[in-house]
Structure 1
């Protein structure tokens, strides 16, 4: 005799299953999960410290992790190195300053404002975040960046007569590159 469905269901034992936060959304980490990932990687100094390389000729970076949900990058900075005003092509992210200090130009309501980010600072941002980052001190600096979904395109911007204009979109599999400085970053080497 076959047991009725209801009695089979009553006999089924359901075990709790732990799912990583990124498995709850098929392709994107939550901002909280991104922040937790960047914090965990930053705390794992054995993972990144020996990899760091500094170049005065060009910005240096290395990919620490890559999967369908996020990618993680280690970047080094020497005085005067900056990025261009950009977003991350629909990816959300976070970065933490590991050593030294960085200056970030953030567009808020279309207006640029600069914020100094000393070692230990973490910034978590959404998919529409537009910023420029540069070295803000003497000696080397390093930062760790996590993007979700992984970087695939980046949009670059200029400010013309108070208007934010997208200048181009580029396909990319690497973190932001060095480009002309935003005026708020022009005095970086003078910052102590």
Structure 2
């Protein structure tokens, strides 16, 4: 007799399907604690594009390591329905958030972290001439993220 029947569908499978800000922060810090992540900073040319590496992915959670060469930027974007958290592993990032028609800027140093709602529009770039490395957690996965540009002082979504 089978006392533990198998789930009929993926929706019936055990596991976490939604995350609080604190849980996203913890999982980002867990992935960021992997010392092998620093290898993502090797051979980054100045002025190059940021490099993203997917560390893990399910329909409910996506993890990325992002290396930021000096001079790179993420451009203005949101994350669709996903909420998220990121932790800076090495270097520092300047995050600019679009808040009610103005920008709010903060520097996030190595070891520090931030959370964000799905409707947040922001852009991120390394500080100064040094590269940076960060780990990002998104829940659910990044589907429906949009890019924006500033036109006459307003954010306008860029057609995909």
Same fold, TM-score > 0.5, yes or no: yes
Aligned with 1:55 (options 44, 67, 71): 44
The residue that corresponds to 1:10 in the other structure is none
The residue that corresponds to 2:90 in the other structure is 99
Q: Secondary structure at the match of 1:138?
A: coil
Unaligned runs of 5+ in 1: 1-21, 171-192
CA shift in 2, pair 1:54/1:107, >3 Å: farther
Greater strand fraction, Structure 1 or Structure 2 = 2
Q: Secondary structure at the match of 1:90?
A: coil
The residue that corresponds to 2:27 in the other structure is 37
CA shift in 2, pair 1:50/1:162, >3 Å: closer
TM-score (norm 1): 0.68
Unaligned runs of 5+ in 2: 1-14
1:130 lines up with 2:121 in the alignment: yes
Q: Distance in 2 between matches of 1:115 and 1:52?
A: 23
Structure 1 residues 118-157: aligned runs within 5 Å? 118-157=109-148
Aligned with 1:109 (options 97, 100, 107): 100
- Higher relative contact order, chain-length normalized (CA < 8 Å, sep 6+): 2
Size of the alignment, in residue pairs?
Answer: 144
- Which structure would you say has the larger Rg? 1
Q: Distance in 2 between matches of 1:40 and 1:129?
A: 24
Cα pair 1:100 1:137 within 8 Å, conserved:
no
CA deviation vs aligned residue, 1:74-104 (integer Å, no higher than 9, x gap): 1111111001100011111111111111111
TM-score (norm 2): 0.81
Greater helix fraction, Structure 1 or Structure 2 = 1
